């Protein structure tokens, strides 16, 4: 065996022996100290201070939690005391339906104590509306009823030719009468899915006693229609089309007390009514003009607009469909 390798083995052996001896000495010293008295008071004191510090921090956090709870509880009580707003929306299948409902739902999301009753004009609930509601954060009831074929608008009919959403609104009223009690406070509003709503409008209608009213923008061929108010009372209506109607107002221009609707169980919209009289067919069985409650600063502010989404032009889509190259029907629009 070469000397260099022999010297290396001897050195390694010596290292291991020294390590073993040091370890034995350390163990013996530790054993000797087990029975000896020890002055640990500085360590115990510092540990005690640390525990006291932690306890003080926990107490501070608990106080902060109680403070925040005290702030939240009044808001919860206030929310519980607010009358519920029931928003009734009829809807039907069309290219812009999802876009309209998304926009409306994201407005309603910001209104406290609101219950959305969405009623489809179909024989069965559609996956599109079902999914949209289930993924939203608005409290809702999903209903459906199909308009009789003879009363349905055809593809190229003008919007005004036949009343729309009648069966759907009446079904929502029926649901309220079957599921709500006369003792419950609330207000009912008919919100079409294509209108534009200010959040302030819902604050205005919240405490309706019988029927509250306000202006509607971009309707009836005018910049706005509105009730005329003198000394806090409605005395007439600013409108150009059929001004002699009992209540010449747009559907978006009034809200009704839930208790008033529950107390008048036969009140509903008339499917056979003359054009322009749909709103009057319900209101004249509930209230007189003198009993109307003007809102929106005595009907001087517009907080809802009768907007309409332009019907999409599908010329290119139709051309591609004829070639068998239309867009993927699996992509929901």
Q: Could you give the residue numbers annotated as active site?
A: 279
Residue-wise DSSP of 125-191: --HHHHHHHHTS-S-EEEEE-PPPGGGSPPTT--TTSS--SHHHHHHHHHHHHHH--TT--EEEEE-
User: Taking the CA atoms of the chain, what radius of gyration do you get in angstroms?
Assistant: 37
Length of the chain, in residues: 333
Report the candidate in 176, 172, 200 with the shortest Cα–Cα distance to residue 186.
176
CB of 127 closer than 8 Å to CB of 152: no
DSSP tag of 116: E
CB of 165 closer than 8 Å to CB of 121: yes
* Sheet of strand 304-305, all strands in order from the earlier edge strand to the far edge: 196-197, 304-305, 216-219, 222-230, 233-238
Which residues fall within 8 angstroms of residue 322, CB to CB, at 6 or more apart? Answer: none
Paired with 142 in beta bridges are 118
* Sheet of strand 114-120, all strands in order from the earlier edge strand to the far edge: 140-144, 114-120, 84-91, 186-190, 254-257, 211-213, 293-294
| CA 238/CA 142 separation, integer angstroms | 36
CB of 165 closer than 8 Å to CB of 139: no
Which residues fall within 8 angstroms of residue 120, CB to CB, at 6 or more apart? Answer: 91, 92, 93, 126, 129, 142, 143, 144, 145, 168
DSSP tag of 192: -
């Amino acid at each position: 065996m070469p000397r260099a390798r022999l010297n290396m083995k001897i050195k390694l052996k010596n290292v291991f022996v020294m390590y073993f001896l040091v370890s034995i000495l350390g163990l013996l010293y530790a054993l000797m100290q087990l029975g000896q008295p020890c002055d640990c008071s500085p360590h115990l004191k510092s540990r005690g201070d640390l525990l006291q510090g932690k306890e003080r921090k926990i107490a501070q956090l608990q106080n902060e939690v109680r403070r925040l709870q005290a702030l939240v509880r009044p808001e919860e009580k206030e929310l519980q005391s607010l009358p519920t707003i029931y928003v009734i929306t009829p809807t039907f299948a069309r290219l812009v339906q999802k876009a309209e409902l998304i926009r409306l739902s994201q407005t309603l999301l910001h209104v406290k104590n609101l219950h959305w009753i969405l009623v489809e004009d179909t024989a069965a609930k559609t996956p599109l509306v079902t999914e949209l509601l289930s993924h939203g954060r608005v409290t809702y009831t999903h209903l459906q009823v199909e308009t009789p074929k003879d009363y349905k608008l055809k593809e190229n009919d003008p919007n005004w030719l036949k009343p729309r959403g009648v069966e759907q609104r009446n079904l929502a009223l029926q649901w309220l009468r079957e599921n709500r009690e006369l003792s419950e406070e609330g207000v009912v509003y008919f919100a079409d899915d294509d209108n534009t709503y200010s959040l302030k409008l819902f604050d205005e209608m919240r405490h309706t006693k019988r029927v509250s009213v306000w202006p509607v923008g971009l309707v009836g061929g005018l910049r706005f229609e509105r009730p005329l108010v003198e000394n806090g009372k409605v005395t007439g209506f600013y409108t150009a089309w059929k001004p002699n109607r009992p209540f010449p107002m747009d559907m978006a221009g009034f809200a009704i007390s839930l208790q008033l609707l529950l107390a008048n169980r036969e009140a509903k919209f008339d499917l056979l009514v003359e054009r322009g009289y749909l709103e009057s067919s319900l209101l004249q069985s509930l209230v007189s003009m003198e009993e109307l409650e003007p809102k929106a600063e005595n009907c001087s502010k517009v907080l809802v607009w009768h907007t309409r989404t332009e019907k999409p032009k599908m010329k290119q889509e139709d051309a591609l469909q004829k070639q068998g190259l239309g867009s993927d029907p699996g992509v929901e629009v």
